[in-house]
Structure 1
């Protein structure tokens, strides 16, 4: 792990555990965030209750709505939405997060409602194709 200099600057890039560096983005800020959030169930703000509340506010919805979860992390919101009946395309740049999502979806019987995809966004001008 890199040393932290005064004023919060990073002396050397932080790196996630070695098994999670295959797709590592060479950016010290992203590197630090991935390291900080490694192993946590959610990598951003919000909660399961927030996701449920927003889903309720979006009513009426089709019987099987299609959801695009960009920056899905390990897929906490994706899994909740899939369990609620949505067909979810979950996109992230960090393959280990998508692997966690794929495993969790399989354990919960949601693999057919969740489609993890990796993407080099935000530098990718090509749109993400939803599952057909």
Structure 2
């Protein structure tokens, strides 16, 4: 079966509305998305081996939309890595007393119960010395909302 007069010749589509991609000599000027993608690629793959940089550059040059895909992929990855939960231990890491109390409460119950109790304890007794002087009944009164009673 012959297509366009030759068996091995690929199909060529022409349209009065769209230019032919195969025969086009037109080189589009790089858009800001293309430029940003290439700059990001060069920064990320500066030390890459095995032709990774060249393969990405080739795809950016000859595959429409690859630059956008590449940047959106990187953006999703960055947001995912940045979206780690904030740990109470990290926010009080400079004070060993607060870390100890936070970890003890969190080992007993879920964070959604323990964290509000932790902050109320820290408001009343901000140091080990203050808690040592505390009324035991008042301290026990604070802890049941954390789900550790019983």
Per the normalisation by structure 2, the TM-score is 0.21
Larger Rg: 2
Higher relative helix content? 2
Higher relative strand content? 1
Higher RCO (Cα < 8 Å, 6 or more apart): 1
